[in-house]
Amino acid sequence: MLAGYDTSAAPLQPAVVLVRPQLGANIGAAARAMLNFGMIDLRLVAPRDGWPNPDAGPSASGADAVLAQSRVFGTIAEATADCHLVIATAQRPRDLTKLVHTPRSAAAAVRAEPTRSALLFGPERTGLLTDELALAGAILSVPTNPDFGSLNLAQAVLLVAYEWASAADPGARLNAYDGPASAASVDALVDHVERELERAGYFRVITREAATRRTLRNLLTRPAFSEKEVRTLRGVISTLTGERLRARGGEP
Amino acid sequence: MLAGYDTSAAPLQPAVVLVRPQLGANIGAAARAMLNFGMIDLRLVAPRDGWPNPDAGPSASGADAVLAQSRVFGTIAEATADCHLVIATAQRPRDLTKLVHTPRSAAAAVRAEPTRSALLFGPERTGLLTDELALAGAILSVPTNPDFGSLNLAQAVLLVAYEWASAADPGARLNAYDGPASAASVDALVDHVERELERAGYFRVITREAATRRTLRNLLTRPAFSEKEVRTLRGVISTLTGERLRARGGEP
């Protein structure tokens, strides 16, 4: 049992997802920063030096329980499969058509979600790749000094955890929106669209395939479609595409 | 000259006063945290291992200029002689008849002062003594997990510096998103989708046409797609639908 905050009363605290973390000491320091503000759901994607890592414990300074119950995944998609709102940190977001949060507005967004959220943090040296940022529904950027902006991993986690703990309950949402679909559902939607576009030759007639794929992924992930909306969209695609035509032999 | 923020425009940024700091590495990390948020006025009171300290530079990770222009004092009174508002950090303030700030309210108080303020941080192991807290005009306590509340020195400095910088522009949002498309563009997108769905017989096979049209319109308007995204989506639809097939005579 973890000391401190009654975690049963906060079942929907966000998952902190460290993507390809390099140093065990930074994983431990991140765990400490989380527990300082009552966050316990630590997930690791492909930690560079494997897991467990003997360097993590000392820098956790007592937050060993967070390390002990952390989970390791092979991909971001696996790590966030149960998360509906995925927010990715980026030092200087560019060329992204996504909402860019401050830590404070991200905390408010997480608090406002009735379902689980994930906060992604990239490797110490490089941060998340552009294609990894494209997987997220929104971006989080800490507004640091433009010429000295590099926060270490645990400090970035600390600020986000601090804001999460500081965020007061913003109150019930006043609309009928039933919350965003899981990342897995949205991934399947993106795959479905890409598959049909490939079949239709879309990527043969455009000039910048990678950029177009990224644009597509961005525009399908950013809206935070609900599960019902994802199902509707998939029905739309199936209707519009050869699935219908193929069924009656009309597809070349 | 320090890179980044125009410090001449913020002549009254608070002094960060580290009282009897123990480890040079923590002094360096505190300097880094300060500069991350544009703070440069570092003052040291009786650092345990003297000053300069060779362990400080590496952990400053480039914030060497903050270390280089730091000043050393013998007492808190000397270090804060030019400061009008003195706020002392304490992990668990007790028996004090003083205002206890959060980092956020402390930042607001500092911003509201027309004169220079000082933020005091105690030694790593013990924090400030009760008699030292008594010297301050107010207390700052970070609301951490009651059972796991110990922040390291640089992390405490980081949170205070972050709040100080955030207080300058609490609404700051770094938004790379290029704004929503016009209603006319979105309407045209919805019409395009509906027209193609009608052509494909979509509304013949579903049971609740009006509700489905509403769902479609909701899911296409809510995301606030940009103009570029609307164009991309329309290209996608054209590709997926009979516009391609019709052109070569494949449409019934």
For the question of whether the overall pTM of this predicted structure is more than 0.80, the answer is no
B164 burial level (CB within 10 Å; 0-12, 13-18, 19+): buried
Comparing C-alpha atoms, which of A133, A127, A149, A128 is closest to residue A98?
A133
Identify all chain A residues contacting B244, using CB atoms and an 8 Å cutoff. 200-201
pLDDT higher than 70, residue B124:
yes
Q: Which tens digits make up the pLDDT trace of B127-166?
A: 999 889 888 888 999 989 888 988 999 999 999 999 999 9
pLDDT higher than 50, residue B237:
yes
What are residue B210's DSSP bridge partners?
none
CB A132 within 8 A of CB A88: yes
Would you tell me how many other CB atoms lie within 10 Å of the CB of residue A182?
20
pLDDT higher than 50, residue A8:
no
CB interface of A with B, residues 115-134, below 8 Å: none
pLDDT bin (cut points 50, 70, 90) of residue A205 is low
Identify all chain B residues contacting A101, using CB atoms and an 8 Å cutoff. 173
Whole-Å CA distances, B140 to A134, A141, B94, B111, B162? 39, 26, 12, 15, 14
Query: In angstroms, what separates the C-alpha of B225 from chain A's closest C-alpha?
Result: 7
Say yes or no for a CB contact (<8 Å) between B145 and A229.
Answer: no
Confidence (pLDDT) at B173: 42
B246 sits in the region (left: phi over 0; alpha: psi -120 to 50; else beta) called alpha
For A80, list phi and psi in degrees, rounded to 5: -115, 15
Q: Which tens digits make up the pLDDT trace of A16-48?
A: 999 999 999 999 999 999 999 999 999 999 999
Identify all chain B residues contacting A141, using CB atoms and an 8 Å cutoff. 174
Confidence (pLDDT) at A241: 78
| Parallel, antiparallel or unpaired: strands A15-19 and A42-45 | parallel
Specify which of A40-44, B3-7, B227-231 reaches the highest per-range mean pLDDT.
A40-44
Residue A152 tokens read as 């270490």
**Mutate: best of A6, A59, A151, A158, partner B, most B CBs <10 A:** A158
Q: How far apart are CA B127 and CA B130, in angstroms?
A: 9
Q: Give this complex's ipTM.
A: 0.70
Q: What is the mean pLDDT of residues B39-61?
A: 96
Helix (H) or strand (E) holding B138: strand B138-140
Confidence (pLDDT) at A107: 93
Of A104, A147, A222, the CB nearest to B223: A222
Q: Which tens digits make up the pLDDT trace of A177-194?
A: 456 777 788 888 888 888
A104 touching chain B per CB within 8 A: yes
